[in-house]
Structure 1
Amino acid sequence: MTLEDVMARIYDSKDFTAGGGAASAVAAAMAASLVSMVARLSVGKQCGLSDEVYEKTAAEMDEISLLLRDGAVRDLEAFLDMKAAYALPKVTETEKALRREAIGKAAYVAADVPRRNALLALKVEHAARDMKGRSNGNAGSDLEVGAVFARAAVGGCLANIRANLGLIKDPERVAELEAFLQETEMGMETDGVEEQKAGKAE
């Protein structure tokens, strides 16, 4: 499975295998590349941060973009594994039990993949916010798009985690994921309030 395979399935509205999780990872990967580009365009321009910071940010965002592209592939693979678990036989009680267990395990992976992608997307959103007003002004719209994509990607990943929670049978894993959802959502709300205050101050 390659990223090109994932993209083809996302664009094909008749294909039901690649959905919001994979699309969120792709959006975050694009966001990371945009933030990296803006950082590179800010080197030597004395925009408010040191060239070392811009170069470090660019390198980190390039790496994260690659991880998120892989994350899109893993999201699709997780869905296909879930689909395979649902296709297991369920005639005997033993088969039913094995099928339930397989679905629960697949559901956890299907929730864990977007969690990992959400963490990466959050790093992109934070990097974009850190450079706001302190990067090459000619690429301001690119930075804004990166920030919007990254934030949307986090929301998309969280939605996919939530969609799989009910299928996970291990209460500890459910609690772990619920805690992550709550912490991340609260953090995003706090960031949004702080950004609004900063905008008013400007």
Structure 2
Amino acid sequence: MSEKLKEMSVAAFVDLTASDAPAPGGGSVSALFGSLSAALTGMVAGLTVGKKKYVEVEAEMREVAAAAEALKKELVEEIDRDSDSFNEFMAAMALPKNTDEEKAARKAAMQNGLKSAAKVPCHVAETAARIFPLAKTVVERGNTNAVTDGLVAAMAARTAVIGAGLNVKINLASIEDEDFVAEYSARVAALEEQAIAAEREIFALSELTREI
């Protein structure tokens, strides 16, 4: 696949995801969720700036918008990085295994590929988790006409973190480096707990979601 995922139309990306192609999968989709979360957060902040009603928070909202834009750009890049890391593992699986030397080289390459396929979604989860305080700010003090967009941002960030974490876990199951597995398992567990708590905290700020 020569075309970058991030450069596809929405329809083309969705169709490719629905096809029998091995990538994009849940990891790239989680990165996409994260980028959309950041985009929505930045949108609400932007809709708050310049409004007389919100003049007291204008400087804060400008900072939120800038931070959200940076996270959006980073997560858009992760959409392709996740699929690339998966393809690295698939390429390792295709290596020859006719001799003991070839088998050892193939196994080492596969283990390295699995580590890459775990590191990338872990980074996605960590990056997406940085959206929560921004989303909380726009829901709590941003333009009330766009509060639902901030709430959707919180949900999308949670999905990005949990989804990316699941992709870490499935790769950890085949990695033989026990220290690596222990480190990334702990990182994912902490991120999952953070995401669930952060979404709940943000939802509690709005009458629209308090019963959810």
Q: TM-score, structure 1 length as denominator?
A: 0.89
In 1, distance between residues paired with 2:126 and 2:157? 11
Q: Which aligned pairs between 1:5-154 and structure 2 lie closer than 5 A?
A: 5=8, 8-12=12-16, 13-14=18-19, 15-45=21-51, 46-47=53-54, 50-154=57-161
Task: Determine the structure 1 residue equivalent to 2:186.
Answer: 179
Using the TM superposition, give the Cα deviation of residue 188 of structure 1 relative to its aligned residue in structure 2, in angstroms: 2.9
Change (3 A) 1:99 1:76: same
Size of the alignment, in residue pairs? 201
Calculate the aligned-residue CA RMSD, in Å.
2.3
The one-character-per-residue Cα deviations of 1:143-182 (angstroms, maximum 9, x if unpaired) are 1221111111111100100010022222221111011012
Deviates more, 1:32-41 or 1:49-58: 49-58
In 1, distance between residues paired with 2:83 and 2:8? 10
In 1, distance between residues paired with 2:164 and 2:113? 17
In 2, distance between residues paired with 1:135 and 1:4? 31
Using the TM superposition, give the Cα deviation of residue 33 of structure 1 relative to its aligned residue in structure 2, in angstroms: 0.9
| Equivalent residues of 2:158, 2:196 under 8 A apart | no
In 2, distance between residues paired with 1:102 and 1:6? 33
In structure 2, give the amino acid aligned to 1:84: A
Change (3 A) 1:37 1:195: closer
The 3-state SS of whatever aligns with 1:50 is helix
| Equivalent residues of 1:6, 1:76 under 8 A apart | no
The 3-state SS of whatever aligns with 1:91 is coil
Q: TM-score, structure 2 length as denominator?
A: 0.85
Change (3 A) 1:49 1:19: farther
In 2, distance between residues paired with 1:74 and 1:55? 29
| Equivalent residues of 1:9, 1:17 under 8 A apart | no
Structure 2: give runs of 5+ residues left out of the alignment.
none
Change (3 A) 1:128 1:48: farther
The 3-state SS of whatever aligns with 2:97 is coil
In 2, distance between residues paired with 1:123 and 1:140? 19
The 3-state SS of whatever aligns with 2:140 is coil
Change (3 A) 1:11 1:51: same
